[in-house]
Amino acid sequence: MSAAEIADIELVGVTKSYGGNVVVVDNVSLTVPRGEFVSILGPSGCGKTTTLNMIAGFHEPSSGEIRIRGRNQVGVPPEKRNIGLVFQNYALFPHMTVQENVAFGPKMKGQSKSETEEAVRSALKSVRLEGYESRYPKELSGGQQQRTALARAIAPRPSVLLLDEPLSNLDLKLREAMRIELKEVQQQLGMTFVYVTHDQEEAMSMSDRVVVMSDGVVAQEGRPSEIYQNPVSAFVADFIGKSNLLPVKQARDHDGRLTLTLGGGLSLVSERSGDIPANDITLCCIRPENVQLARKGASGENLLTGRVDKLVNLGAHAELWVDVSKDCLLKVQVPVRRLQGIEIGSHVDLLIESAAIQPLAH
């Protein structure tokens, strides 16, 4: 980020603790440039909502600093922060129509009647909810309520929009459709989005950048593909997508190529020595889709043989659990058309690209 650009949101060493000893958010630092879609992703209870509430101003951090467009926000109440927030349960005003709900923000900010009407019209247009102005929230479907909540949050044109698991109450089909719409709205408005979710697919599909949180700390931060391909820890590898995490007994470095010795006499070669010293390597991560079925009689490195223990056909592809050694079950994802002749109990040869094996320290 260039110096001229002001980050929309900056968290500097933000910590939140309750009662002095329960640390819920621990020394989180985060920079969100203007117009970026950032997701905070993590399991339940990891402190996502708490972080969002601190940005919104509902909680004050115990220590650290929060800046919005360069201005320190300590002591600034939520109503003065010019931030939008979409709640998980939408929190629509039940006694107001869609029109009144969406008009609430502009009205409270003292905009004129015509400005307010214009803001409502354009917000409802952005979320494609024209024609529902006079309905009450209880007369709307879940998806329409969701759109109303989004329209209400963007109508006052906040500098930043925070979203706390906004899609988690919708069914899968609608959730997938809304992902695309949300992203479109964000790009169309050029608004900075901070999106909290525990759904990794959501985070991966919409975000410019993902911040993975675990137990109140940032476990990893980066572009979605970066995080998927180069998880820095077993936690991230496991949380984002599916993975095989295999314990490594010993690792040796030969000019950037690592030889990993696993249990049961297995040995793999990895081309990604990375920054981790060979001595610190305790695990390696292999994505199921990076394990291929090898032709019979193939030879070379990273070739494993095993017995199919479980087989789940998922339509487009199938998942195999292959027993490659006494204590090592490898998850493998193969296209269904390659399944011919393979059933539970069959012996298969597996091939793993050396570039697809990610050594991990923890």
Residues interacting with Mg ion, by CB under 5 A?
49
**Closest distance of CB 14 from other proteins, Å:** 19
Which of 1, 13, 18, 93 forms a contact with ligand ATP (CB under 6 A)? 18
Contact by Cβ (8 Å): 237, 66 = no
**Closest distance of CB 105 from other proteins, Å:** 4
Q: Which residue is nearest to ligand ATP (CB)?
A: 49
Cβ proximity to other proteins: between 160 and 218 the closer is 160
Give CA 274 to chain center in angstroms.
Answer: 23
Contact by Cβ (8 Å): 41, 213 = yes
Residue type (1 letter), 272: R
Which of 2, 21, 44, 188 forms a contact with ligand ATP (CB under 6 A)? 44
**Closest distance of CB 67 from other proteins, Å:** 18
Cα separation, 302 vs 274, in Å, equals 19
- Interacting positions 191-250 with ligand ATP (CB under 6 A): 198
Which of 7, 14, 41, 48 forms a contact with ligand ATP (CB under 6 A)? 48
- Interacting positions 43-62 with other proteins (CB under 8 A): 56-58
Q: What are phi and psi of 146, to 5 degrees?
A: -60, -45
Q: Is 93 in the site for other proteins (CB under 8 A)?
A: yes
Q: Is 93 in the site for ligand ATP (CB under 6 A)?
A: no
Torsion sign across C-alpha atoms 104, 108, 109, 115: positive
Cβ proximity to other proteins: between 92 and 246 the closer is 92
Q: Is 46 in the site for ligand ATP (CB under 6 A)?
A: yes
Q: Which does 137 bind (CB under 5 to 8 A by kind): other proteins, Mg ion, ligand ATP, none?
A: none
Q: Kindly indicate which of the ranges 73-81, 117-125, 260-268, 295-303 contains the residues binding other proteins, using the contact rule CB under 8 A.
A: 73-81
Non-local (6+) Cβ contacts of 195 within 8 A are 37, 38, 39, 40, 163, 166, 182, 202, 203, 206, 207
Q: Is 94 in the site for other proteins (CB under 8 A)?
A: yes
Which of 13, 18, 29, 108 forms a contact with other proteins (CB under 8 A)? 108
* Nearest residue to 313 via CA among 352, 350, 356, 342: 342
**Closest distance of CB 199 from other proteins, Å:** 21
Q: Is 47 in the site for ligand ATP (CB under 6 A)?
A: yes
Cβ proximity to ligand ATP: between 2 and 44 the closer is 44
Contact by Cβ (8 Å): 33, 7 = yes
- Total number of residues binding ligand ATP (CB under 6 A)? 12
Contact by Cβ (8 Å): 51, 212 = no
Q: How many alpha carbons lie under 13 Å from residue 259 in its C-beta half-sphere?
A: 7
Give CA 17 to chain center in angstroms.
Answer: 24
Q: Kindly indicate which of the ranges 42-50, 72-80, 223-231, 257-265 contains the residues binding ligand ATP, using the contact rule CB under 6 A.
A: 42-50
Q: Is 91 in the site for ligand ATP (CB under 6 A)?
A: no
Residue 296 CB neighbours (<10 A): 8
Contact by Cβ (8 Å): 302, 352 = yes
Strands (E), 151-282: 160-164, 192-197, 209-214, 217-222, 244-254, 257-262, 267-270
Read off the tokens for 361: 């320290």
Which of 3, 22, 314, 316 forms a contact with ligand ATP (CB under 6 A)? 22
Residue type (1 letter), 14: V
Cβ proximity to ligand ATP: between 88 and 233 the closer is 88
Cα separation, 184 vs 133, in Å, equals 22
Per-residue DSSP letter, 338: G
Which of 47, 61, 105, 224 forms a contact with other proteins (CB under 8 A)? 105
Site residues for other proteins per CB under 8 A: 56-58, 77-85, 87, 89, 91-95, 104-105, 108-109, 152-153, 156
Site residues for ligand ATP per CB under 6 A: 18, 22, 24, 42, 44-50, 198
